[in-house]
Amino acid sequence: MVGFTHRLTPDLFVLRPDTTMDLSGGVATTNHMGLREGPWFEPPDSTKDRLLHVGDSVTFGLGVAKDSTFPHLVGQTLSIWDSSRVVETLDASVLGFDTGHELALLEHYDLLDSSLSLVINVFCFNDVPVELTEQLYTADYATAQKIFRYVPAPIYTLITS
C-alpha cells in the first residue's frame, strides 16, 4: 500500500485522492476525498436517498470492481425496489480501518449531515480483536457466542433526531 495512501492527520489516512489504481486485481478509482465512490453528493435534494457506508477492506471491496462492491449493490438494489427514488451511495470505507478510524474520517470530512438517509457501518469478522480471533476460528457456535460477548462495541453510536 506504500504510495497508495494519503495522510489527512498523523493518525488518519485515505487512499490517494483522484487516482486510479490496481488493488489486488480490482481497479479502484478515488474521488477528491480519497474515497472510492465517485464525486461527493450534489447539494441536498429531498427526492434522493443518500446512503453512507463506512467500513474496512471488506466494505471497500478489495479486488472487486466498483459495480460489484457491497455499497454499490445496496444502492442498486434499493433503486430497483422503488424506481421512483434516486439512491446515491458513498463508499467511505478504507482499507485497514477500524471503528476509531471510521469515526475520525466521518468527523474530518463532516460526513454526518441531515441529508443522509442512512449510515451503514459494516463490522466484519476480521475486525475482532486479534487475541480473540484464533478462538473464534476454532470455536463451535455456542462458544463463539460466548466469545462475542467480549468483543468491544463500536466506539461510537449514530443518533438521529
Q: Is residue 113 part of a domain?
A: yes
In a domain, 27, yes or no: yes
Q: How far apart are CA 39 and CA 91, in angstroms?
A: 11
In this predicted model, what pLDDT tens digit does every residue of 105-154 receive, in sequence order?
888 888 877 678 888 888 776 666 666 666 666 666 666 666 556 555 55
Question: Does residue 68 carry a pLDDT above 80?
Answer: yes
User: Average pLDDT for residues 52-64, to the nearest whole number?
Assistant: 86
pLDDT of res. 128: 61
Please indicate, yes or no, if residue 20 is contained in any of the structural domains: yes
Helices (DSSP H) in the chain: which residue ranges? 57-60, 70-81, 99-108, 130-138, 141-148
Give a yes or no: residue 62 inside a domain: yes
What pLDDT score does 143 carry? 67
Residue 100 shares a structural domain with residue 50: yes
pLDDT of residue 46: 75
Phi-psi region of 80 (alpha: psi -120 to 50; beta: other; left: phi over 0): alpha
The verdict on residue 99 lying in a domain is yes
147 and 103 in one domain? no
Q: Same domain for 113 and 132?
A: no
100 and 144 assigned to the same domain: no
User: Does the residue 161 lie in any domain?
Assistant: no
Residues 119 and 132 in one domain: no
Same-domain status, 55 and 129: no
Residue 100 has pLDDT above 60, yes or no: yes
Report residue 67's pLDDT band, with 50, 70 and 90 as the boundaries.
confident
Domain total in the chain: 2
Q: Does residue 81 lie within any of the structural domains? A: yes
Q: Please tell me the predicted confidence (pLDDT) of residue 161.
A: 46
Clarify whether residues 149 and 99 are in a common domain.
Answer: no
Q: Average pLDDT in the 34-44 region?
A: 71
Amino acid at 139: A
| pLDDT score, position 147 | 56
Do residue 118 and residue 135 come from a single domain?
no
146 and 102 in a common domain: no
Q: Is 152 exposed, middle or buried (0-12, 13-18, 19+ CB in 10 A)?
A: exposed
Name residues whose C-beta falls within 8 Å of residue 152's C-beta, 6 or more positions apart in sequence.
129
Domain assignment present for residue 9? The answer is: yes
Q: By residue range, what is the domain housing residue 133? A: 125-155
